[in-house]
Amino acid sequence: MSKTCTICGKPLSANALSGPAHGRKHRNEFERKVGREPEDYNEVRAFFSGELTIGYPTEQAQLGCFA
């Protein structure tokens, strides 16, 4: 039975380290986009599935945010 990534669906090799190594790729991408480390890997999954929306550090605040 082959393993697949729960985020991108990419097939992973049978090597025991393939899952953690591939998962680090998504953690790194999360850190680049959000500007901080994720609290846990569930937060990474939620972010990439669209269930969790976090403002990017480069976004500018809109006036409505302060009303």
- 48-64 b/e with 16+ CB inside 10 Å = b? beeeeeeeeeeeeeeee
For residue 12, the cross-strand partners are: 3
Please state, rounded to an integer, the average pLDDT across all residues of the chain: 82
Confidence band (pLDDT; 50, 70, 90) for 3?
A: confident
The domain spans of the chain are 3-54
Report whether pLDDT(65) > 60: no
Tokens of 44: 């990474």
What pLDDT score does 56 carry? Answer: 54
Would you say the pTM of this structure is higher than 0.75? no
